[in-house]
């Protein structure tokens, strides 16, 4: 059973910069951030604020130049590229604004991909993928390609792909950016249900304050640092 409110993500004095001397460009200027198991965190900020860099570090797609990133107490900066890839594969699910589905591959085959990389046997992959599609209400279009699905359906397939491995952390980068209001609400209700019912930690980048309202904590980045943080009671 997941124990809520234990640290899963910790950034400690995290800096990311490029170049040196007068040519140094800072993306992060020293970020301290703790995210606990079971939280739903929204990250906001203008372009160039550092929020995307922070998400790339949290997702093990990048490493800090200075400071630390701890994932369940493990210093990710000390891991090799292959070790970071294993951490991503086994503990983190990703949802992108652009869906990132394979166009000529069926919905169920798209959902199976993370399991394929894990070496899960074919019959077990299919069973797990169908279960994930059922959880987002799309088992009836399992054999349709993305081109045969609406934008909202494509994003729900992407969510099924992200949660099929039962990740500890779900990273969502502008998950409603390409959707209308009704489909955005559907996606946010799904994310909230996975957070509440399964205890998956959700970290979401968004520009939309009405989408951020689904989170239990909102963190605002500006100029490479955390500007403000707001929490609300669980309801």
pLDDT tens-digit map of 29-43: 999 999 999 999 999
Query: Does any domain span residue 155?
Result: yes
Please state the φ and ψ torsions of residue 175, each to the nearest 5 degrees. Answer: -65, -15
Residues 124 and 181 sit within 8 Å (Cβ to Cβ): no
Span 158-180, mean pLDDT? 94
Query: Does any domain span residue 39?
Result: yes
Confidence of residue 234 (pLDDT cuts 50, 70, 90): very low
Query: Does any domain span residue 69?
Result: yes
Burial annotation 182-204 (CB, 10 A radius, 16+ → b, else e): ebbbbbbebbeebbeeeebbbbb
Span 88-114, mean pLDDT? 93
Considering Cα of 206, then 212, then 215, then 219, what sign does the dihedral take? Answer: positive
Span 42-63, mean pLDDT? 94
Residues 167 and 200 sit within 8 Å (Cβ to Cβ): yes
Total tally of structural domains belonging to the chain: 1
Query: Does any domain span residue 1?
Result: no
Please state the φ and ψ torsions of residue 71, each to the nearest 5 degrees. Answer: -115, 110
In this predicted structure, the answer to whether residue 212 has a pLDDT above a threshold of 60 is yes
Report yes or no on whether pTM surpasses 0.75: yes
- Give the separation between CA 122 and CA 203, rounded to whole angstroms: 31
The two structure tokens encoding residue 69: 């990133």
pLDDT, tens digit (0-9, with 9 covering 90-100), for 58-94 = 999 999 999 999 999 999 988 999 999 999 999 999 9
Residue 168 has a pLDDT of 95
Instruction: Report the relative pairing of strands 25-36 and 40-44 from DSSP bridges.
Output: unpaired
Residue 222 has a pLDDT of 95
Which CATH number covers residue 20? 3.40.50.300
In this predicted structure, the answer to whether residue 3 has a pLDDT above a threshold of 90 is no
Query: Does any domain span residue 81?
Result: yes
Query: Does any domain span residue 2?
Result: no
- Which residue range is the domain that position 87 belongs to? 7-231
- Give the separation between CA 91 and CA 11, rounded to whole angstroms: 17
Query: Does any domain span residue 212?
Result: yes
Query: Does any domain span residue 216?
Result: yes
The two structure tokens encoding residue 143: 């054999």
In this predicted structure, the answer to whether residue 18 has a pLDDT above a threshold of 80 is yes
In this predicted structure, the answer to whether residue 11 has a pLDDT above a threshold of 80 is yes
């Amino acid at each position: 059973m997941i124990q809520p409110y234990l640290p899963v993500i910790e950034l400690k004095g995290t800096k990311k910069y490029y170049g040196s001397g007068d040519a140094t460009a800072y993306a992060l200027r020293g970020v301290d951030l703790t995210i606990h198991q079971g939280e739903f965190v929204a990250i906001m900020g203008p372009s160039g604020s550092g929020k995307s860099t922070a998400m790339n570090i949290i997702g093990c797609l990048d490493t800090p130049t200075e400071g630390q990133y701890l994932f369940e107490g493990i210093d990710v900066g000390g891991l090799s590229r292959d070790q970071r890839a294993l951490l991503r594969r086994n503990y983190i699910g990703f949802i992108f604004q652009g869906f990132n589905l394979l166009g000529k591959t069926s919905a169920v085959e798209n959902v199976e991909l993370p399991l394929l990389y894990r070496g899960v046997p074919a019959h077990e992959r299919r069973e797990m993928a169908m279960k994930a599609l059922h959880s987002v209400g799309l088992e009836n279009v399992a054999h349709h390609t993305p081109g045969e699905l609406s934008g909202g359906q494509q994003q729900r397939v992407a969510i099924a792909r992200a949660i099929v491995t039962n990740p500890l952390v779900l990273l969502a980068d502008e998950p409603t950016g390409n959707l209308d209001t009704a489909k955005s609400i559907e996606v946010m209700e799904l994310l909230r249900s996975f957070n509440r019912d399964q205890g998956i930690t959700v970290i979401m980048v968004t520009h939309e304050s009405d989408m951020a309202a689904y989170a239990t904590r909102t963190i605002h980045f500006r100029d490479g640092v955390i500007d403000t943080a707001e929490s609300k009671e669980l309801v």
